């Protein structure tokens, strides 16, 4: 009898490999989380037992040491220890370029008096790390709280930030800015080692990344070596004469139409005039304050106007306000004026005091409408569409056609700059996002660090300024994921001893 051949065994079922969770869409992620909950429930493990609500060390870098100590006193709240936070700071110095150093220089015209400052050692590495997804870059600076800051404005996740690259004790005027050109006062390292001073770095950003230039009018004029808003040709963008501020003029030719206080080639930065951001925040403040303090005061008198202003004026602690505490209104105060309808109160007072006519009421209503539209157009951070651009151009034409008749005031340079604001929005479809507003708001954060968080370092002024700058840049760098370090950075960290990981020795440089 012939033996039958054994039948082959069935092949084992082939298991499909699952895609990584990070590659799934929202719906598939939701389904997989539900399966995980069911699987955990089958073996009696609650989901909360596997979750880790503790923030990473990098996430709490922006907090002061005192704030972190307060958090640790609360039961149920757990954050990283100071050792891990120190290690995270060192890691950021290697991976994100947050290392900082201090310097000093002689004040111009003040023999024997030294000014101090601090700078980021590798600004290009830091900028390429934190602003890698920004849709624009704006180089700029400003003085606030006794310190001038130079840096770059960028956007991250639809939010604008100002990244300081250098801060120094002094004014944003020619003499102090020129002192930063002292050879080797800021010896950059890493990717920035080829640049001799901060202006070389900023010029590289302008040229390489087609960055804009922002700041207030005096800063822009100084950095370009333009005579300023009081000159015969007050605009740093075009060559309009001061007698025809509402007219249109040709843009300045790069390195040809200088109109400067010094030699044309002595300008700190060079940039095509169409890439200069036309100071939208200061246009909003300047035009609105002109309407309130000149036009409205003429209608109701200084005493009545002061009474109305007192209801919207902010009361700052000593030393915590800006120049607006003494002169005019700041941005939030003007917004409060608009929201609370103070223009209608002006109209009521004008009617009661002077028996105002319908013409006066119409003028007040028009000026109030101008202020509301200026706030909307000049401060908006979103991308412009053709309809909004048309409305912005219509507002410009309305103000130009009726300014003298409505306000009774003369034309001043900021009205001319409003034309460039419209042209800038039409050319790039952004305006407020690239403005100087983030530099102005940065002053508050830096002043808080200087006067409160690092006040205990007042006996070490170099270290005090350096720490303020370091905290400012670390807070922004920490927002960029740092869980996975590069192999080179990991190797460097492994070479560090625990004692070295707990501190970062600052570099102090002095120039006579």
pLDDT tens digits in sequence order for the chain, 512 residues long: 455 556 666 766 666 778 888 788 889 989 988 888 888 888 888 877 776 667 777 777 777 788 888 888 888 778 888 888 888 888 888 889 999 999 998 876 666 678 899 999 999 999 999 998 899 999 999 999 899 999 999 998 888 999 999 999 999 888 899 999 988 899 999 999 999 999 999 999 999 999 999 999 999 999 998 888 888 899 999 999 999 999 999 999 876 766 655 555 578 999 999 999 999 999 999 999 999 999 999 988 899 999 999 889 876 554 445 444 445 899 999 999 999 999 999 998 888 876 667 888 899 999 999 999 999 999 998 899 999 999 999 999 999 999 999 999 999 999 999 999 999 999 999 999 999 999 999 999 999 999 988 888 889 999 999 999 999 999 898 887 644 344 434 443 444 433 333 333 333 333 33
**Chain center to CA of 29:** 36
Model confidence pLDDT, tens digit, residues 414-456 = 999 999 999 999 999 999 999 999 999 999 999 999 998 888 8
Query: Two tokens at 145?
Result: 């709280």
Residue 207 in domain: yes
Contacts with 501 (C-beta within 8 Å, 6 or more apart), sequence order: 83, 86, 87, 90, 493
Q: Are 138 and 212 contacting, i.e. CB atoms less than 8 angstroms apart? A: yes
Domain count for the chain, please give it: 3
What is the SS3 assignment for 35-49? Answer: HHHHHHHHCCCCHHH
The DSSP symbol for 454 reads: T
**216 and 110 in a common domain:** yes
| 359 and 449 together in one domain | no
Cβ density class 129-166: b for 16+ within 10 Å, e for less: bbbeebebbbbbbbbbbebbbbbbbbbbeeebbbbbbb
Note the Cα 512 to chain centre separation in Å: 32
The verdict on 457 and 379 lying in the same domain is no
Q: Residues 86, 147: one domain?
A: no
DSSP string of 163-184? EEEEEEES-SSHHHHHHTTSTT
What is the residue-wise DSSP string for 127-158? Answer: HHHHTTT-S-EEEEEEEETTEEEEEEEEEETT
State the pLDDT at residue 351: 84
Q: What is the pTM of this model?
A: 0.81
> Do 133 and 209 sit in the same domain of this protein?
yes
pLDDT at site 15: 65
Q: Do 309 and 343 touch, CB atoms closer than 8 A? A: no
Query: What pLDDT is attached to residue 86?
Result: 85
In a domain, 345, yes or no: yes
CA 462, 464, 467, 468 torsion: positive or negative? negative
168 close to 151: Cβ distance less than 8 angstroms: no
d(CA 450, CA 462): 12
Same domain, 139 and 272: yes
Based on the fold, state whether residues 455 and 418 are members of the same structural domain. no
**Is residue 365 domain-resident?**
yes
Residue 1 lies in a domain: no
Two tokens, residue 346: 């002006």
Same domain, 392 and 354: yes
Indicate whether 464 and 430 sit together in one domain. Answer: no
238-269: buried (b, 16+ CB within 10 Å) or exposed (e) per residue?
bebebeebeeebebbeeeebbbbeeeeeebbb
Q: Are residues 500 and 463 in the same domain?
A: no
The answer as to whether 131 is a domain residue is yes
Residue 47 within any structural domain of the chain: no
Listed residue (229, 146, 218) closest to 411, CA to CA:
229
Alpha-carbon span 368 to 358, nearest angstrom = 15
Residue 244 resides in a domain: no
Domain that holds residue 493: 54-96+487-504
- Give Cα 63 distance to the centre of its chain: 19
What is the pLDDT at residue 324? 45
Q: Are residues 291 and 414 in the same domain?
A: yes
The answer to whether residue 49 sits within a structural domain is: no
CA atoms within 13 A on the CB side of 311: 14
Pair (139, 60) in one structural domain: no
């Amino acid at each position: 009898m012939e033996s039958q051949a054994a039948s082959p065994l069935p092949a084992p079922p082939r298991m499909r490999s699952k895609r990584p969770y990070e590659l799934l869409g929202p719906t598939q992620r939701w389904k997989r989380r539900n399966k995980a909950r069911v699987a955990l429930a089958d073996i009696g493990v609650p989901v909360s037992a596997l979750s880790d609500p503790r923030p990473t060390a990098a996430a709490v870098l922006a907090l002061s040491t005192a704030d972190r100590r307060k958090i640790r006193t609360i039961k149920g709240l757990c954050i990283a220890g100071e050792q891990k936070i120190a290690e995270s700071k060192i890691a950021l110095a290697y991976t994100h370029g947050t290392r900082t150093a201090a310097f000093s220089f002689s004040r111009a015209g003040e023999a024997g008096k030294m000014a101090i400052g601090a700078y980021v050692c590798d600004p290009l590495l830091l900028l390429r790390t934190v602003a890698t997804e920004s849709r624009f870059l704006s180089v700029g600076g400003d003085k606030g709280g006794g310190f001038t800051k130079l840096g770059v404005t960028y956007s991250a996740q639809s939010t604008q930030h100002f990244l300081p690259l250098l801060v120094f004790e002094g004014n944003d005027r020619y003499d102090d800015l020129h002192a930063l050109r002292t050879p080797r006062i800021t010896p950059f390292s890493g990717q920035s080692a080829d640049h001799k001073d901060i202006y070389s770095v900023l010029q590289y950003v302008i040229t390489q990344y087609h960055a804009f230039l922002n700041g207030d009018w005096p800063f822009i004029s100084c950095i370009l070596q333009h005579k300023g808003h009081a000159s015969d040709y007050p605009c740093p963008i075009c060559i309009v004469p001061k007698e025809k501020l509402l007219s249109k003029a040709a843009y300045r030719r790069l390195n040809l139409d200088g109109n400067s206080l010094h030699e044309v080639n002595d300008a700190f930065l060079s940039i095509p005039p169409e890439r200069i951001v036309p100071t939208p925040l200061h246009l909003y403040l300047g035009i609105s304050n002109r309407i309130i303090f000149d036009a409205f005061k003429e209608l109701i008198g200084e005493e009545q106007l002061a009474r109305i202003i007192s209801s919207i004026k902010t009361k700052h602690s000593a030393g915590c306000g800006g120049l607006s505490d003494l002169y005019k209104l700041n941005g939030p105060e003007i917004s409060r004026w608009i929201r609370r309808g103070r223009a209608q109160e002006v109209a009521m007072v004008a009617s009661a005091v002077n028996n105002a006519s319908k013409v006066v009421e119409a003028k007040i209503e028009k000026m109030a409408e101008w202020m509301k539209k200026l706030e909307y157009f000049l401060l908006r951070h979103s991308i412009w569409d053709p309809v909004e651009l048309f409305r912005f151009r219509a507002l410009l034409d309305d103000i130009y056609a009726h300014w003298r008749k409505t306000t009774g005031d003369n034309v001043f340079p900021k009205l001319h700059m409003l034309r460039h604001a419209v042209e800038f929005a039409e050319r790039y479809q952004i305006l407020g996002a690239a403005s100087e507003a983030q530099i102005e708001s940065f002053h508050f954060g830096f002043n808080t660090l200087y006067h409160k968080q690092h006040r205990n370092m007042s006996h070490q002024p170099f270290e005090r300024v350096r720490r303020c700058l370091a905290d400012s840049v670390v807070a922004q760098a920490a927002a960029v994921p740092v869980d996975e370090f590069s192999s080179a950075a990991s190797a460097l960290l492994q070479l560090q001893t625990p004692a070295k990981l707990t501190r970062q020795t600052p570099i102090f440089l002095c120039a006579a």
